[in-house]
């Protein structure tokens, strides 16, 4: 399995993250990374992310700006 994030603007268009995190070995690794990296992603123009497993959508899009409100 290859867990990865898709990075998007609010309108759903793809956007490049400041650094490509590559693939993750587990869902937990991917979620830990996003939990630490969301402020930098917002700063780089990423509004939302979708978690994929081998190209299949697991969940998302998830609004990163909502995390800033918590």
Q: Which residue has the tokens 């697991």?
A: 58
| pLDDT tens-place string over residues 17-70 | 999 998 999 999 999 999 999 999 999 999 999 999 999 999 999 999 986 555
Contacts of 37 (CB under 8 A, 6+ apart): 21
Q: Give domain limits for the chain.
A: 3-69
38 prior amide bond cis, ω within 30: no
Q: Which residue has the tokens 């978690």?
A: 51
Whole-prediction pTM value? Answer: 0.89
């Amino acid at each position: 399995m290859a867990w990865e994030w898709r990075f998007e603007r609010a309108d759903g268009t793809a956007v490049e993250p400041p650094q490509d995190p590559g693939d993750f070995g587990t869902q937990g690794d991917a979620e830990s990374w996003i939990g630490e990296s969301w402020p930098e992603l917002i700063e780089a123009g990423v509004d939302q992310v979708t978690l994929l497993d081998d190209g299949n959508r697991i969940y998302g899009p998830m609004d990163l700006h909502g995390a800033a409100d918590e």
